[in-house]
Amino acid sequence: MRIEQNGAVTQSEKVRELIRMAREQVGSESFSRAYLSSSEVAAPILAECKSDPESRSDVCEALLIGVAEIAASVQATTRDDAFLRNLEHGLLPVAEQLVKQLLPALISEHANRTEEVDVDRKQRLLHLIETLTE
């Protein structure tokens, strides 16, 4: 399909075609480029979290990093017949790292948080961990 100026092609088709053309030029399978573009939103918030220790939140940091890495994995995975298999392969290490960072942030008494540990939430999480590891 080519981009036409006379309105013969709908606006959404033009947008999709422009995105496709940009991906071909940039290479959407480039993980580093995908990571940089996906972390644009998270980076300023993470910097703000780290600059003020009083308002630092390990929960927010872990989730923002996880979201950026998940978005990068999705962007960097080629859309073909093996998309879901390849996406899962890329997401498993991200999920592992997220759990590794997030769980201590949620249940540890010493984690940096903006709120105190919710005892009920901590008990539910500990019970969930116990149930899943049996």
pLDDT by 10s per residue, the chain, length 134: 455 554 545 555 666 666 666 666 665 556 556 665 666 777 777 777 777 777 788 888 899 889 888 888 888 888 899 999 999 999 999 999 999 999 988 888 888 887 777 888 888 988 998 999 88
Residue 100 lies in a domain: yes
Number of domain units in the chain: 1
Residue 125 lies in a domain: yes
Contacts of 79 (CB under 8 A, 6+ apart): none
Ramachandran region, residue 15 (left: φ > 0; alpha: ψ -120 to 50; beta: rest) = alpha
Largest Cα separation within the chain, whole Å, is 64
Full residue range of the structural domain in which residue 79 is found: 29-132
Residue 6 lies in a domain: no
Residue 127 lies in a domain: yes
Residue 63 lies in a domain: yes
Residue 124 lies in a domain: yes
Residue 20 lies in a domain: no
Residue 2 lies in a domain: no
